[in-house]
Amino acid sequence: MRVLKNLFDQNREWAEKVKESDPDFFQKLSKQQNPEYLWIGCSDSRVPSNQIVGLLPGEIFVHRNIANVVVPSDLNCLSVIQYAVEVLKIKHIIVCGHYGCGGVKAAMEKDEHGLIDNWLHHIRDVYRTHSAEIDVIEDKALKFDRMCELNVIEQVANVCNTTIVRNAWKRGQELSVHGWIYSIENGILQDLNVCVTGIEDVPENK
Ligand code: CO
């Protein structure tokens, strides 16, 4: 018996359904991808990029990691951004965080979590940068929510400060960077209104 048979069964069903509504769908997609969006989101299984925004395969280029972190030492993430901006010429980069993010929560605690603490260090930097704002929030849940938002805002700044994005703007390429947050409790996306569309609006890295 095939391992994980149910997943293969579901795959066949899904492919059939897609073909029913558009018989040439896979044929067309196999020739090229032409997405307009790059999604940088959390790996959390409850935050699936395509489904949340109702996009089909081929419509969104995706990079996900724990707590949607963008750091200049991460060759994986930078390669995705470079390919998306320079080859696919996507028009929008969306950094999407979510409330209740386990990565952000772990970074706010003092406990040790092993290897992952090296990654969470980047989120602790977000806290350090904004500690004056965070420390005065008494309510624990509100504090956590705000940290999830600030993490997105900081990662938007990090995206804007990559040489890839800066050079795209210098060349006059049309490109916007957005910061959004998703609620796993109601499935609703919110714009954090930190959109950057050109080099003159780039937030400084603190
Ligand atoms: Co998360």
Cβ pair 85, 171 in contact under 8 A: no
Indicate if 46 belongs to the active site: yes
- What integer is the mean pLDDT of 166-181? 98
Strands 189-191 and 176-182, by their bridges, are antiparallel
| pLDDT score at 29 | 93
CA of 75 to the centre of ligand 1 (A): 20
- C-alpha dihedral, 199 to 169 to 78 to 52, nearest 10°: 90
Residue 78: φ, ψ to 5°: -65, -40
CA of 66 to the centre of ligand 1 (A): 6
Neighbours of ion ligand 1 (CB under 5 A): 42, 44, 101, 103
Exactly one of 101, 145, 148, 160 is catalytic; which is it? 101
Indicate if 44 belongs to the active site: yes
Query: Which pLDDT band holds residue 205 (cuts at 50, 70, 90)?
Result: low
CA of 47 to the centre of ligand 1 (A): 8
- What integer is the mean pLDDT of 33-55? 97
Q: Which domains does the chain have, with CATH numbers?
A: 1-30 (no CATH), 34-199 (3.40.1050.10)
Indicate if 121 belongs to the active site: no
Which of 66, 41, 65 lies closest to 55, judged by CA?
Answer: 41
At 85-98, the pLDDT tens digits run: 999 999 999 999 99
Which of 36, 78, 84, 82 lies closest to 56, judged by CA?
Answer: 36
User: Three-state DSSP class for 76?
Assistant: helix
| pLDDT score at 4 | 93
